[in-house]
Amino acid sequence: MKPILVLVSVDSNSILLGAKQFVNYLKEAIEKYNLRDTVDVLETGSMGVYTQGVVMAIFPDDIYYSVRSIEDVEKIVSEHLLKGRAVLPLELPKERLKLVVEKERVTEEVRIVLRNVGVIDPKSIDQYIARDGYFALHKALFEMTPQQVIQTIKESGLRGRGGAGFPTGLKWEFTAKVQADQKYVVCNADEGEPGTFKDRLIMEGDPHSVIEAMIICGYAVGATKGYIYIRGEYYGSVENVQKAIKDAYEYGFLGKNILGSGFSFDLTVRLGAGAYVCGEETALLESIEGKSGRPRLKPPYPPTQGLFGKPTVINNVETFANVPQIILNGANWFKQFGTKGSPGTKVFSLVGNVVKRGIVEVPMGISVRELIYRFGGGLLGGKRLYMVQTGGTAGTFIGVDKLDVPLDYESFRDHGVSIGSGVILAMDEDVCPVDVALNTMEFFEHESCGKCTPCREGTRLAVQILRKMSKGQGQKEDLETLKQIALVTQEASLCGLGQSINVPLLSILDNFKEDFVNHIGASSCPRGVCRFEKPTKVKTKV
């Protein structure tokens, strides 16, 4: 090992900020300055923060830089690597990356899911193993019965991180109990929820953790085949996961008679092809089966009748990524994080008008305020926070009055704030709630699969009304009609997509009612966002 290690974030977001170019330049510079025996460069996953620059970490100095140009790289090489002087203007405040618990109670970042992301080379199975990778698989196969694995996951209290929050252990238990000649494990990596990109960063930064968890799950429930269904647009994830699967086969973690245990498991990748509804579990199964992704009527649920009609466990990427750590460290270890009803951590994506966009993994129960101001650095340009969308597009719109609600799976029931897939989309005072509502409903209208009438027609009707309102042609009755649409669509839709439309729609109508009322009958958009059009007058002959 060389004395100095430079870690560079080369995930998909960072690449857009120039990461590849910077790494290449860095390597050239190291050659140029004859540092090749002193400095190692390692490309790794996301370090969690995007300050409009690529994050570079230098060890053992433990200094983090935000790099925006080739000149910055040059400066780091000539100053830091050659002369050992930190380049202060480029340095990232450490509290954002490594938080120190101060006297007052503040939330610290806890990395369970992201423990390897931004630390190891995701393309190296050896580096994963060096961080206790596949130790959990070994433990499960040789020291635990399938029932004990399920019991551990049940006791840990792990709940589905895709949004619905269903207890993972219970899901596994249902599947294990069904007798069948073939069972499947499916990983839902069709991350299409606007604002969410955690799964992508997990797959790009630590693909083996997901693979290891799926094998453990297969052992626990008696499944011998698995699919990872990844969004077709996620090239980086697909590449890293496919490489990881190949390596896992070579090392004997996949395939026949894994590690000599007698258990066999096959795993492959399937790509989505651009349909948000395929994130719904039964639609996703249909898609793997080579059909249009139209959801099935439930029950029967996947644990009894899933892929090809066989019992199937289907979990989200983040859910799976928790599993190896739980098996290794035990249920009680996991329960020390988070809240009683929602143990563990959650990966949040901070997006919108915050200063520091990125992802952060913190214990359940953190407040929206902490996420936006402590981890997100507040609002860009010192603007005032006006509204926040939590949980994703199917999540809730809240005002500043609800910033202190603790986020866990109970927060929606108790305070009307959804945790969903972990999106915190902060919007400043320049947004218009009518425009935001229209954009949201246009999304659902476009993504509705069309199979059931309430969702297909409900979303279309809501868009028509909101479009009219955004042109300044709204009427008071429209608000009531929108509420009716929301409730009917919720009640009568076939799947989770239609059933969840009421959540964003009702929350924005309730929490920002005044904005909607002020919009109606005004001469221009009160917030200067929507473009008003005069209704076309029909000339009648007298």
Partner 1 sequence: MVDREAIVNLVRNIKQQALEERDMLINALHQIQNHFGSYIPVEAAKLVAEELNVPESKVYEVLTFYTMFSIKPRGKYVVRVCVNLPCHVTGGRQIIETLKQTLGIDFDQTTSDGLFTLERTSCLGLCGVAPVIMVNDEYYGDLTPKKVKELIESLRARGEGR
289 contributes a contact to partner 1 by CB under 8 A: yes
CB of 270 to partner 1, least distance (A): 6
Packing angle of the helix pair 317-329, 207-221 (nearest 10 deg): 70
Among 171, 357, 374, 519, binds partner 1 (CB under 8 A): 357
Q: What is the DSSP string of 234-282?
A: -HHHHHHHHHHHHHHHHTTSSBSSGGGSS--BEEEEEE--S-GGGGSHH
Footprint (CB under 8 A) of partner 1, residues 235-264: 235
410 contributes a contact to partner 1 by CB under 8 A: no
Nearer residue to partner 1 within complex by CB, 9 or 168? 9
Q: In angstroms, rounded to a whole number, what is the distance separating the alpha carbons of residues 41 and 46?
A: 15
The enclosing H or E element of 433 equals: helix 433-447
Q: In angstroms, rounded to a whole number, what is the distance separating the alpha carbons of residues 114 and 358?
A: 13
520 contributes a contact to partner 1 by CB under 8 A: no
40 contributes a contact to partner 1 by CB under 8 A: no
Nearer residue to partner 1 within complex by CB, 226 or 344? 226
| Span near partner 1 by CB under 8 A; candidates 88-96, 196-204, 311-319, 363-371 | 196-204
Nearer residue to partner 1 within complex by CB, 65 or 276? 276
| Span near partner 1 by CB under 8 A; candidates 87-95, 112-120, 149-157, 433-441 | 433-441
Q: In angstroms, rounded to a whole number, what is the distance separating the alpha carbons of residues 502 and 4?
A: 54
Cβ-contact 281, 495 below 8 angstroms = no
Q: In angstroms, rounded to a whole number, what is the distance separating the alpha carbons of residues 378 and 340?
A: 29
Among 291, 340, 413, 476, binds partner 1 (CB under 8 A): 291
Nearer residue to partner 1 within complex by CB, 191 or 408? 191
Nearer residue to partner 1 within complex by CB, 195 or 338? 195
212 contributes a contact to partner 1 by CB under 8 A: no
- Would you give the DSSP letter of residue 518? H
Contact characters 86-125, partner 1, x per CB under 8 A: ----------------------------------------
292 contributes a contact to partner 1 by CB under 8 A: yes
Among 67, 125, 436, 501, binds partner 1 (CB under 8 A): 436
Nearer residue to partner 1 within complex by CB, 155 or 233? 233
Nearer residue to partner 1 within complex by CB, 77 or 425? 425
Cβ-contact 155, 331 below 8 angstroms = yes
Closest by Cα among 39, 244, 255 to 121 = 244
What one-letter code names the amino acid at 201?
L
Nearer residue to partner 1 within complex by CB, 196 or 490? 196
Footprint (CB under 8 A) of partner 1, residues 42-71: 50, 52
Total residues at the site for partner 1 (CB under 8 A)?
61
Closest by Cα among 433, 435, 460 to 445 = 460
Contact characters 359-398, partner 1, x per CB under 8 A: x-----------------------------x---x-----
CB of 130 to partner 1, least distance (A): 28
Closest by Cα among 230, 228, 217, 112 to 171 = 217
CB of 386 to partner 1, least distance (A): 10
Q: In angstroms, rounded to a whole number, what is the distance separating the alpha carbons of residues 262 and 256?
A: 8
532 contributes a contact to partner 1 by CB under 8 A: no
Which long-range CB contacts under 8 A does 156-159 form with residues at least 24 apart? 156/326, 156/331, 156/334, 156/335, 156/343, 156/344, 157/331, 157/334, 157/335, 157/341, 157/342, 157/343, 157/344, 158/319, 158/322, 158/323, 158/326, 158/334, 158/343, 158/344, 159/319, 159/342, 159/409
Reading the block at residue 435, the tokens are 């425009």
191 contributes a contact to partner 1 by CB under 8 A: yes
164 contributes a contact to partner 1 by CB under 8 A: no
Cβ-contact 412, 396 below 8 angstroms = yes
CB of 290 to partner 1, least distance (A): 3
469 contributes a contact to partner 1 by CB under 8 A: no
CB of 195 to partner 1, least distance (A): 5
Nearer residue to partner 1 within complex by CB, 197 or 334? 197
Closest by Cα among 346, 349, 365 to 357 = 349
Q: What is the DSSP string of 140-157?
A: HHHH--HHHHHHHHHHHT
The footprint of partner 1 (CB under 8 A) covers 12-13, 15-17, 50, 52, 191-197, 199-200, 225, 227, 231-235, 266, 268, 270-276, 287-293, 308, 349, 351-353, 357-359, 389, 393, 423, 425, 427, 431, 436, 439-440, 442-443, 446-447, 449
